[in-house]
Chains A and B, each alone.
Chain A
Amino acid sequence: MTATRKLLTIICETDLETRLGEDVMRLGAHGFTVTDARGRGSRGLRDASWDPTANIRMEIICEERVAETIAEHVRAAYSDNYAMVLYMVDVSVLRAEKF
């Protein structure tokens, strides 16, 4: 009934949202969910009080191969210059063909 997929979560600067969305779809994801986020890390307080300090959390459920490709691309292209956290976990999904 359920199948296993990867949930890749990318927390990063809001400024990257458009580019990231395009990259993710190009690299084989079938969709993603974005929520606003805020927090603190190596680049200080990102309190979302205004655009330059706002974060997003992008969640992508996809096959492991796609998740690895996206993670590697995002790390190489953005992680040097942008506030960013990436992680993935296994999730059980219904309707596996969507992902």
Chain B
Amino acid sequence: MEPVILFFLLGVAGGLARTDMKFPTALYEALTIYLLLAIGLKGGVELAKHPLLDAVLPSAAVVLLGVAIPLVAFPILLRLGGLNRADAASIAAHYGSVSVVTFAVGAAYLNRLGESYEGILTVFLVLLEIPAIVVGIALAKGVGKDVAWGRLVREVMFGKSIFLLLGGLVVGWFAGLDGIAPLDRLFFDLFKGVLALFLLEMGLVASRQLDVLRRFGPFLAGFAVIMPMISAALGLVTGLLLGLSPGGMTLLATLAASASYIAAPAAMRIAVPDANPALSVGASLGITFPFNLVAGIPIYHKAALWLTGGDA
């Protein structure tokens, strides 16, 4: 097992044992900023190796993927789950949007296996954050009706996750591999250690979500495992059509399967205040996040190898 995941499990164990260990909010914030920036930088450096124009078509396909996932999730939540419109839309937005840390763990998993992936995946990460949130808000409110879209788009675009990922991407792209070299120690070498710390904290937080799921029953728990599989399948097919490497397909599937708990909760809390955040965050962080870490990523990797005719 990827060692950073053990830190996550340690956090969960600590939370269940009601340890008094607690990350100060400022540290949580600082770790988040570091991870977002480092992932952006890494992607920017990779992106600089290829002509930018090559990225246009795949990017468009990935945006469509980001629109499709919440549209698949919404009717399932509304009809099968019997959730109200606001909750269904909010959860759909969380599942369409992405988890940066799941992506980072996926990348670490591939690195350990010596499997490479395309640098453009980091661009996909940024692109996938936004469309699902917009779709989710539209599903909850209807298009045009009392939604201050201008303000909302500004808040999402300049929320820390998009701003830092995109910012890192641009800096990395301009600086290139040589330009970024002096920063390597901080942003690349230390990355995994910081990721481990962050996962410890996420384990603590995730363990507190399980309570919510006990209250809201088996449907949501089932959804939180099955929906990522459906999304991952969509991601794998998109990756196959785009001609990505097995590593690239794995990460795209991981992105599709992951559910947001940074950008989406903040946006939905403001845009769809009547949705219960305990449901969406409970499902995405309490179940989907650990599921992807422990089981999902290896499954998506196997599936990618199988689809591309490699040895699975």
Contacts and interface: CB of A to CB of B under 8 A. Distances in A.
B266 A15 contact: yes
Given A15-B266, A81-B274, A82-B273, A49 B23 contact: yes
B22 A51 contact: no
Given A13-B269, A15-B266, A15-B269, A50 B277 contact: no
Interface residues of A, number: 19
Nearest to B280: A52
Interface residues of B, number: 20
B204 to A, nearest CB: 7
A81 B273 contact: yes
Interface string A39-78: 0000011011111101000000000000000000000001
A48 B25 contact: yes
A38 to B, nearest CB: 9
Nearest to A43: B278
A54 to B, nearest CB: 6
A51 B23 CA distance: 12
A36 B281 contact: no
Nearest to B25: A48
Contacts, number: 40
A19 interface: yes
A19 to B, nearest CB: 7
Contacts of B241: none
A16 to B, nearest CB: 8
Contacts of B30: none
Given A15-B266, A15-B269, A49 B22 contact: yes
B25 A52 contact: no
Nearest to B276: A81
B265 interface: yes
B201 interface: yes
Contacts of A45: 208
Given A50-B205, A52-B277, 5 more contacts: A49-B23, A49-B25, A49-B204, A50-B201, A81-B273
Interface of A: 13, 15-16, 18-19, 36, 44-45, 47-52, 54, 78, 80-82
